[in-house]
């Protein structure tokens, strides 16, 4: 007798795949409903059912070769085919010595190639194991830490600063959440995440309520529902396209195939001519046959495969010392045959760390800041080459102090390594302070924070009220158009002067055209220091502009030489980026790979 099991509604594959639904265009309630999920998370039965339906949350990849496959791969060269035929024929006619030499060469070539490629495969596998991450989820009403590969659509994932996004998520809760998506969008600044539904035709890079697998949480916290896993994530689609496409034959293989055909044809022609000549002279057919075979075997370059394998193995070993894993020996020669290098900008040509490189003070004084990245290496110098006097140094220190106080990030040297957290622009301002010999922690102790207005994308500024010798002063940073309305004066080399708003706007525009991201720094006394619990923008009045700060993601120190060396070798370098055209052009000009769009 059959009993009907209670029916559990389940998310359909078409509904749960991000390729079928525009998750970014749905409200949170609709997302929960479509995924058959709840705030308490999935239960164990739902997880097992969906894991069976959708599989593991892993990127598509080709199955790694076995040791036998690696060994057999060493015998796929056209020249090896000819040597094998020659060895068999030599053995058949009783020439054991030549046959033994040929087979020894083939086995030596296979052994060298197998060792190199098997080591590379094992290194690549070990690297994949190291890259596995954990995910914090809510299941059965409680938090759990699970391997990211066990996530399924509908899982409730919890994120905080420093976490890797383990799958494509639709956010349902955010708190000052910013995520670094440079690997996918090319944008060096973290993306601020929101909850409001987006237009259905919104491109991937602008979907503010979606978190993408592989991205890194920079600030804040967030909760999201898994909407796509594995091959259905955005990065999974890229990985799938790479694994499904068959690569072209390496140039060396193409040339070896051509060489093998030419050698075979030439040997065959001369063997036939030698046979005909011998027959016309009355030599017995049996002897003619042996003579033709002997000539053919002797004409085969038995040592070439070994010489080529040894040369490629040496090159592979040299690259391994530079932390490069070469999985196929032929790839070394392919790299040497490159005529064009298409390089990503953010994080490849650049350090992927916003850095203060230019400060423009009211009155026109321009100060360059050396160094790159989040550290204390660098110093200030005037762009016109004049020395920095005490008055200018004091103005720079005042600006840097405001940038340090109006700041939610951290930057510290721990055991010889610089550790940071928080918004990229905030960390860059802390690095600026350290380059000018300010101690952020000491400054915050000397000038205790009394109240704050955190940065929001709608307001485009942040403000901090701090205590200074019994008085309350404010430090403000933000976009030029957002902060200038709070200001009435600007600090010059002589004294505070009336604000020249048009001039500052023009200066900021010029900096932006050269690829800089521009913030204005301002400070002044708090207009009403009575109730700091109600600190808001109405109290930001009569402020003084201290200067404009230009940020850019600078080049890696070794990139200029690498590009110049590539150009000398006849290799063209092309930069690929999704960043702002002005920023991209500034980097391209600095590398001398482009002068105009």
pLDDT tens, position by position, 555-590: 888 898 999 888 888 889 988 877 777 778 888 888
Active site includes 344? yes
Residue position matching structure tokens 């010999």 = 437
pLDDT digits (tens, 9 = 90+) for 286-304: 677 767 776 766 676 766 7
- 164 pLDDT exceeds 60? yes
**Distances, alpha carbon 236 to alpha carbons 18, 81, 184, 332, in Å:** 11, 39, 11, 27
Burial (CB count <10 Å: 0-12, 13-18, 19+), residue 274: middle
Give the pairing of strands 340-344 and 572-576: parallel
What structural domains and CATH numbers belong to the chain? 13-57+151-242 (2.70.150.10), 67-127+248-336 (no CATH), 341-349+557-591 (no CATH), 355-552 (3.40.1110.10)
The 3-state DSSP class for residue 250 equals coil
Alpha-carbon distance of 227 to 153, in angstroms, equals 5
Q: Which of 550, 498, 497 is nearest to 521 (CA)?
A: 550
431 pLDDT band, cuts 50/70/90, is very high
Alpha-carbon distance of 578 to 580, in angstroms, equals 7
pLDDT at 246: 60
**Distances, alpha carbon 424 to alpha carbons 9, 176, 545, 553, 556, in Å:** 44, 14, 22, 10, 17
Handedness of CA 401, 405, 406, 411 (dihedral sign): positive
- Say which of 98, 344, 384, 561 is annotated catalytic: 344
pLDDT digits (tens, 9 = 90+) for 202-238: 888 889 999 998 888 888 889 999 999 888 888 888 7
pLDDT digits (tens, 9 = 90+) for 43-52: 989 999 999 8
Q: Rounded mean pLDDT of 243-248?
A: 60
Angle at 480 between CA 478 and CA 481, to 5 degrees: 110
**Distances, alpha carbon 405 to alpha carbons 12, 414, 468, in Å:** 51, 21, 12
Contacts of 341 (CB under 8 A, 6+ apart): 566, 571, 572, 573, 574
Tokens of 82: 């000819």
Angle at 458 between CA 372 and CA 483, to 5 degrees: 65
Alpha-carbon distance of 303 to 292, in angstroms, equals 21
User: Can you give the pTM of this predicted structure?
Assistant: 0.63
Q: Which residues pair with 222 in a beta bridge?
A: 159, 174
């Amino acid at each position: 007798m059959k009993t009907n099991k209670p029916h559990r509604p389940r998310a359909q594959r078409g509904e749960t795949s991000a390729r079928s639904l525009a998750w970014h265009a749905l409200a949170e309630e609709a997302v929960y409903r479509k995924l058959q999920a709840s705030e308490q998370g999935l239960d164990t039965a739902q997880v097992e059912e969906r894991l069976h339906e959708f599989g593991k949350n892993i990127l598509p990849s080709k199955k790694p070769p076995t040791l036998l496959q690696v060994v057999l791969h060493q015998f796929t060269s056209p020249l090896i085919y000819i040597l094998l035929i020659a060895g068999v024929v030599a053995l058949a006619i009783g020439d054991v010595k030549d046959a033994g030499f040929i087979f020894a060469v083939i086995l030596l070539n296979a052994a060298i190639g197998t060792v190199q490629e098997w080591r590379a495969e094992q290194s690549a596998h070990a690297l994949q194991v190291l890259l596995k991450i954990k995910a914090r989820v809510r299941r059965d009403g409680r938090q759990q830490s699970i391997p990211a590969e066990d996530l399924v659509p509908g899982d409730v994932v919890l994120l905080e600063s420093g976490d890797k996004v383990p799958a494509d998520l639709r956010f349902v809760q955010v708190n000052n959440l910013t995520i670094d998506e440079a690997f996918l969008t090319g944008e060096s600044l973290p993306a601020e995440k929101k909850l409001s539904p987006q237009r259905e035709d919104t491109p991937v890079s602008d979907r503010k309520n979606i978190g993408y697998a592989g991205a890194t949480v920079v600030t804040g916290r967030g909760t999201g529902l898994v909407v796509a896993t594995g091959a259905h994530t955005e990065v999974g689609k890229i990985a799938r396209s790479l694994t499904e496409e068959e690569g072209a034959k390496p140039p060396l293989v193409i040339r070896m195939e051509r060489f093998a055909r030419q050698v075979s044809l030439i040997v065959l022609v001369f063997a036939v001519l030698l046979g005909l000549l011998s027959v016309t002279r009355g030599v017995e057919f049996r002897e003619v046959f042996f003579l033709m075979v002997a000539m053919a075997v002797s004409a085969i370059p038995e040592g070439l495969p070994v010489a080529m394998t040894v040369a490629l193995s040496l090159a592979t070993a040299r690259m391994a010392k530079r932390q490069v894993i070469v999985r196929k020996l032929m790839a070394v020669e392919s790299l040497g045959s490159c005529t064009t290098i298409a390089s990503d900008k953010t994080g490849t040509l650049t350090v992927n760390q916003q850095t203060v490189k230019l400060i423009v003070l009211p009155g026109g004084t321009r100060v360059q800041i050396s160094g790159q990245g989040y550290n204390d290496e660098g110093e200030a110098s005037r762009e016109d080459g004049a020395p920095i006097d005490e008055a200018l140094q004091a103005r720079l220190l005042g600006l840097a102090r405001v940038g340090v106080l109006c700041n939610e990030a951290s930057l510290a040297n721990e055991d010889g390594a610089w550790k940071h957290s928080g918004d990229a622009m905030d960390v860059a301002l802390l690095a600026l302070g350290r380059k000018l010999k300010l101690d952020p922690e000491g400054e915050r102790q000397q000038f205790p924070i009394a109240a704050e207005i955190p940065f929001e994308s709608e307001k485009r500024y942040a403000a901090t009220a701090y205590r200074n010798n019994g008085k309350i002063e404010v430090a403000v940073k933000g976009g030029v158009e957002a902060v200038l309305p709070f200001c009435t004066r600007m600090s010059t080399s002589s004294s505070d002067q009336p604000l020249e708003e048009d001039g500052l706007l023009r200066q900021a525009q010029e900096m932006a055209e050269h690829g800089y991201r521009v913030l204005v720094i301002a400070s002044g006394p708090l207009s009403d220091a009575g109730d700091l619990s109600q600190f808001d923008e109405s109290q930001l009045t009569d402020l003084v502009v201290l200067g404009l700060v230009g940020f850019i993601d600078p080049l890696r120190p070794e990139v200029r030489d690498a590009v110049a060396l590539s150009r000398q070798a006849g290799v063209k370098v092309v930069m690929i980026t999704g960043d702002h055209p002005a920023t991209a052009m500034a980097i391209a000009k600095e590398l001398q790979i482009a002068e105009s769009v």
